[in-house]
Amino acid sequence: MLREAVSSEAGAGAGAFEPVDPYSIILNGTERVVEGSWIGESLLYVLRERMGLPGSKNACEQGECGSCSVMLDGEVVCACCVLAVDAADSEVTTVEGLNASGLVDDIQSCFVEAGAVQCGFCTPGLVVAVHDLLGRRPDAGSLEVREALSGNLCRCTGYGRILEAVRLVQEKREDG
Amino acid sequence: MVSPSVMRRRGSHLGASVLRPDGGPKAKGEFAFSSDMWMDGMLWGRTLRSPYPAALIKGIDVSPALAIPGVRAVISAQDVPGRKTFGLERADQPVFASDVVRYHGEPVAAVAADHPDTARRAAAAIRVDYEPLEPLVVAEAAINAPAIHPDGNVFRHIVIRTGDPTAVGDVVVEGTYEVGMQDQAFMGPESGLAVPSLDGGVDLYVATQWLHADRDQIAESLAMDPRMVRVSLAGVGGAFGGREDVSLQIHACLLALRSGRPVKMVYGRDESFFGHVHRHPAKMWYRHHANRDGELVNVEARIVLDGGAYLSSSNAVISNAVCFAAGPYRLANAKVEGWAARTNNPPCGAMRGFGAVQVCYGHEAQMDKLAAELGMDPVQFRLKNVLRRNDKMITGQVIKGTAPVEEVIRAAVSHPLPVPLDSSAEMMSLPGGAGMTADISDVRRGVGVAVGFKNLAYSEGYDDFTTARIRLDLSPQGEPVATVVIATAEVGQGFVTLASQIVRDLLGVDQVVLAPAGTEDIGSAGSSSASRQTWMSGGAIEHVCMMLRDSLLERAAGELDCPSSDLIMRDGEVSRESTAQRVSMTSLLAAGPLQAEHEFHHAKTQPLGVDGQGDAMLSLMFAAHRAVVDVDPDLGLVRVVQVTTGQDVGKALNPVQVTGQIEGGIAQGIGLAVMEEIVLDEGRVRNPSFTDYLIPTALDVPEVAATLIEEPEPGAPFGAKGVGEPPTISSGPAVAAAIRAATGLDVTRVPVRPQDLALRR
């Protein structure tokens, strides 16, 4: 933004954005058509602003903080770093989709119970990341959990209660 | 009024780890943050900011932006109808720079367009003719340099003198210390939605710490009656001081009024680094004197804070820095001099710990130096000199409240140390972490201790208050409901939990509703800062509960035909002990709802007078930290292994929330010690992103063990002190001390960078 402000050709010849042809995303199990979208829009923008799914958050838009974590064809990605058109015909699962699946209820209740939620801005992304981790590595040790969650920044909690929440989920799932 | 302590019989709420009411929606992604708002016909706002830290503006041509299809409004300084400046303490900061730019990232213009990328391109298309100037970037030099602002370059100069400032001790140690510029780095970037209203006013939904201060500054710049500006709290993604000043509030309202459409502004992370104030960088010189037996004799200090281009809250920050410069120790003699200076660096203001953080690095390094010089154990040396109740601070104020300094130190050091380093340690747990760079045979461990303190709420005679109103009514199902109207900003700290805990405990009402926080329907709650909301908003709610309780007793007295002094209220019903008669709240409210409102002020404080003397503080909070670090001296990498703490909390009203504040605050303290710095090059910010400005991850934070010291504070609602700031004050200095212990190096600057360790061996 700042560099552009001093560039003499910035904005020269700028016209209206031309929308790309409509495309589909299999979003939380349902095919959704994206219309009127500009080619440069990130998956995060399309989810939040076009699909009405603001659960994935916008904290860095650079792939550093994990607040926008979603599942793309089963892999956790930062939605801010994926061009929405690249997700055409792919399966995208957001925190809203996980809510409906019931698969993360225990993660969410353990987060609340352990005090892992303060401002809550990082929480949906963390829920997605914990869901992914425990799906792959249900018995992950504490250092492995720390590493797996090190792509999800939290500024409020210092992570102590978050790690405690993950431990609680592991304990409950083992008992359950 | 009956002492509230009489009323606290249930005990099932205050003091219990009640879960936050917004936790579920937040975990599900259903909680609406300020950046999640959306409205039909909404436009996107965008700010154009200066690429220069100092420049003259020769001309601004907005026509290329207006020519872009989809652009609905472009505004600059000439479009501000009212006051062209804003500011928390004094309005010295332009809403838009008009003729002079004083920092890198200063707003020059703003646009609104129907797509955020159109707005971005339109802002970039505005032609600004700058004449760059040599920036003034060194705070010490700024004090006597030609003024870069009509108000001059010295925001505030304070001198504290007490006793005999020329007193000399047997042992003298001296040092200079430096603290870098830290960012609050809250996760939810600045964002808000401004909506023009039919009456010609504007409604703003925004993430902020202080709704009424925002409203008043917006109204001034819009030249509008404050009642026409309605500011409501939108979901706040963390704050830590960074939302106390106005960022996009005035811009968004101007764009909405100009375009006649709702305007949403959401800063990207890069813009967030330019959009709010930072923690003041500090340069400090200290000389301490002590007697051979380990008694402190005198402290001399000079502290220069870089306030950046505009005032923000610099005057209060430098006041804290000098008042707490000696640390929580008895000192009969002191001369402390402080300046907050204006430069062409980014403006600095409030951040968690507010002036007490910077000086803690200085006084604690000096304590360790003195202990070493005296051949004493650093903990024993501190214990010998700690402040206690009825001791005098260097400001002459006698501490009337609790001062469990000894207790917090003993608690911090009594936790078990972590297992010693050994060759089986996992690489990931060593310095360098995932980089797997450490050579275990060369890694060195160090332990350090630090102690800090700070004031709670506002000081120096500021008339600080919070307004609250509660309505007691029956729900459609006939159950009592308490609706709390208060403009307190919930920023993540858990005030919403505490408010419900207080009302449930004092009134025995299970259903407690917090009305949305806004300026329209209630007076100010003050800022969610200075660890003050438990005391101030908690106190206001407590007081209103007691007023309602009196009204309920009066109603019951009428019903039972007895004096209200015969009655007591407990668990949501009124009873008469002598006759065992009882009246439920439901039946008392059948006669109609009850409502009470109160403006709660804390006890008066005094301005600092001659020689910086005066009873300027309401209450003091203390904490001590012990840090254990491992250092890879070849690469200069540090891993913080463990932090233990003792913290003076007065009374823990919600222990899990207190723990969350302690762990989160320690993470920010560690961040400043070893990771976090806004890097400036001749006034230009070099690292405005989370790629280049590093905050601690789950791999960077250590194991934390905390002991809460509960000595109820006299005069404090429920005996509780604030808990948010102390964890951020001495945790970093303890890490710095541990690094010194591990390396033997005289670490004098934070954040400690690899080159400060590796290249100095």
The verdict on a CB contact (< 8 Å) between A112 and B23 is: yes
CA B600 – CA B91 distance, rounded (Å): 27
Q: Which residues of B touch A122 (CB under 8 A)?
A: 187
The verdict on a CB contact (< 8 Å) between B68 and A14 is: yes
Fold of the domain built from segment(s) B399-451+620-761: Aldehyde Oxidoreductase; domain 4 (3.30.365)
Q: Which residues of B touch A109 (CB under 8 A)?
A: 24, 27
Q: Which residues of A touch B104 (CB under 8 A)?
A: 2
Fold of the domain built from segment(s) B4-31+465-601: Aldehyde Oxidoreductase; domain 4 (3.30.365)
Sheet with B333-342: strands ordered across: B154-162, B333-342, B296-308, B282-290, B171-179, B749-750
Q: How many CB pairs under 8 A join A and B?
A: 246
The verdict on a CB contact (< 8 Å) between B492 and A12 is: no
B269, B428, B659 ranked by CB distance to A60: nearest: B269
Residue pLDDT, tens place only, B283-314:
999 999 999 999 999 999 999 999 999 999 99
Give the closest-approach CA distance of B45 to chain A in angstroms. 14
The verdict on a CB contact (< 8 Å) between B28 and A7 is: no
Contact B674, B614 (CB under 8 A): no
Q: What is the ipTM of this complex?
A: 0.96
**Per DSSP, which regions of B671-745 are E strands?**
680-681, 684-685, 703-709
Give the pair of three-digit tokens for residue B262: 């709702």
- State the average pLDDT over residues B198-214: 98
Non-local (6+) Cβ contacts of B124 within 8 A are: A1, A4, A5, A7, A10, A11, B48
Fold of the domain built from segment(s) B34-134+193-266: Aldehyde Oxidoreductase; domain 3 (3.90.1170)
- State the average pLDDT over residues B713-727: 98
Give the closest-approach CA distance of A26 to chain B in angstroms. 20
Give the closest-approach CA distance of B582 to chain A in angstroms. 36
The verdict on a CB contact (< 8 Å) between B187 and A154 is: yes
Give the closest-approach CA distance of A89 to chain B in angstroms. 24
Give the pair of three-digit tokens for residue B740: 């010194």
| The pLDDT value given to residue A10 | 37
**What is the pLDDT confidence band of residue B759, given thresholds at 50, 70 and 90?**
confident
Residue limits of CATH 1.10.150.120 in chain A: 102-175
Do B34-134+193-266 and B399-451+620-761 fold alike per CATH?
A: no
Residue pLDDT, tens place only, B131-162:
999 999 999 999 999 999 999 999 999 999 99
CA B427 – CA B436 distance, rounded (Å): 6
Q: Which residues of B touch A49 (CB under 8 A)?
A: 38
Of A162, A85, A95, the residue nearest A132 (C-alpha): A95
- Judged against a pLDDT cut of 60, whether residue B596 lies above it is answered with yes
Residue located via tokens 């026509």: B63
Which residue in chain A has the smallest CA separation from B270? A60
Give the closest-approach CA distance of B541 to chain A in angstroms. 22
| The pLDDT value given to residue B172 | 98
A7, A107, A156 ranked by CB distance to B238: nearest: A156
A18 touches chain B (CB under 8 A): no
The verdict on a CB contact (< 8 Å) between A11 and B125 is: yes
| The pLDDT value given to residue B423 | 86
| The pLDDT value given to residue A3 | 36
A5, A118, A159 ranked by CB distance to B49: nearest: A5
Give the pair of three-digit tokens for residue B148: 């870069």
B19, B29, B49 ranked by CB distance to A2: nearest: B49
Q: Which residues of B touch A12 (CB under 8 A)?
A: 64, 125
Which residue in chain B has the smallest CA separation from A120? B26
CA B104 – CA B106 distance, rounded (Å): 6
Count the residues in chain A. 176
Q: Is B744 left (phi over 0), alpha (psi -120 to 50) or beta?
A: left
The verdict on a CB contact (< 8 Å) between B123 and A6 is: no
Give the closest-approach CA distance of A175 to chain B in angstroms. 23
Non-local (6+) Cβ contacts of B510 within 8 A are: B479, B480, B504, B572
| The pLDDT value given to residue A7 | 35
**What is the pLDDT confidence band of residue B12, given thresholds at 50, 70 and 90?**
low
A61 touches chain B (CB under 8 A): yes
**Per DSSP, which regions of B222-376 are E strands?**
229-233, 263-266, 282-290, 296-308, 333-342
Q: Which residues of B touch A118 (CB under 8 A)?
A: 238, 492-494, 660, 664
The verdict on a CB contact (< 8 Å) between A16 and B69 is: yes
Residue limits of CATH 3.10.20.30 in chain A: 18-94
B48, B188, B690 ranked by CB distance to A5: nearest: B48
- Judged against a pLDDT cut of 80, whether residue B365 lies above it is answered with yes
B118, B184, B690 ranked by CB distance to A64: nearest: B690
Non-local (6+) Cβ contacts of B322 within 8 A are: B158, B159, B160, B301, B303, B336, B337, B338, B359, B612
CATH 3.10.20.30 fits A18-94, yes or no: yes
B17, B70, B124 ranked by CB distance to A16: nearest: B70
Q: Which residues of A touch B125 (CB under 8 A)?
A: 10-12, 14
The verdict on a CB contact (< 8 Å) between A62 and B269 is: yes
- State the average pLDDT over residues B736-751: 97
Distances (CA, A) of B563 to B1, B88, B497, B557: 15, 50, 35, 6
The verdict on a CB contact (< 8 Å) between A118 and B492 is: yes
- pLDDT, averaged across chain B: 96
* DSSP secondary structure, B422-489, as one string: -TT--GGGSTTGGG----GGG-EEEEEEEEEEEE-S--TT---EEEEEEEEEE-TTS-EEEEEEE---
The neighbour count for residue B59, using CB atoms within 10 Å, is: 8
Give the closest-approach CA distance of B373 to chain A in angstroms. 36
The verdict on a CB contact (< 8 Å) between A155 and B668 is: yes
| The pLDDT value given to residue B10 | 43
Residue pLDDT, tens place only, B63-106:
999 999 999 999 999 999 999 999 999 999 999 999 999 999 99
Cα angle at B681 between B679 and B682, to 5 degrees? Answer: 135
**What is the pLDDT confidence band of residue B3, given thresholds at 50, 70 and 90?**
very low
| The pLDDT value given to residue A2 | 37
Give the closest-approach CA distance of B237 to chain A in angstroms. 5
Q: Which residues of A touch B429 (CB under 8 A)?
A: 143
CATH 3.40.50.1360 fits A102-175, yes or no: no
The verdict on a CB contact (< 8 Å) between A117 and B26 is: yes
CA B161 – CA B338 distance, rounded (Å): 12
Cα distance from N-terminal residue to C-terminal residue, chain A: 51
- Strand, coil or helix: A76: strand
What are the boundaries of each domain within chain B?
4-31+465-601, 34-134+193-266, 399-451+620-761
The verdict on a CB contact (< 8 Å) between A155 and B51 is: no
Q: Write out residues 89-148 of A within 8 Å (CB-CB) of B.
A: 94-96, 99, 107-109, 111-115, 117-124, 127, 143, 145-147
Per-run averaged pLDDT (10 residues), chain A, 176 residues:
36 59 98 95 97 97 96 98 98 98 97 98 98 98 97 98 98 94
Q: Which residues pair with B453 in a beta bridge?
A: B622
Give the closest-approach CA distance of A43 to chain B in angstroms. 15
- State the average pLDDT over residues B630-655: 97
| The pLDDT value given to residue B7 | 37
Cα distance from N-terminal residue to C-terminal residue, chain B: 66
Q: Which residues of A touch B659 (CB under 8 A)?
A: 115, 160-161
| The pLDDT value given to residue A16 | 52
In chain A, the percentage of residues whose pLDDT exceeds 90 is 88
Give the pair of three-digit tokens for residue B534: 């438990």
Strand B263-266 vs strand B43-49: parallel, antiparallel, or unpaired?
A: parallel
**What is the pLDDT confidence band of residue B761, given thresholds at 50, 70 and 90?**
low
Of B94, B98, B112, the residue nearest B60 (C-alpha): B98
Residue pLDDT, tens place only, A75-123:
999 999 999 999 999 999 999 999 999 999 999 999 999 999 999 999 9
- Judged against a pLDDT cut of 80, whether residue B760 lies above it is answered with no
CA B565 – CA B7 distance, rounded (Å): 14
- State the average pLDDT over residues B650-679: 98
**What is the pLDDT confidence band of residue B424, given thresholds at 50, 70 and 90?**
confident
Q: Which residues of B touch A156 (CB under 8 A)?
A: 187, 238, 492, 660, 664
The verdict on a CB contact (< 8 Å) between A11 and B124 is: yes
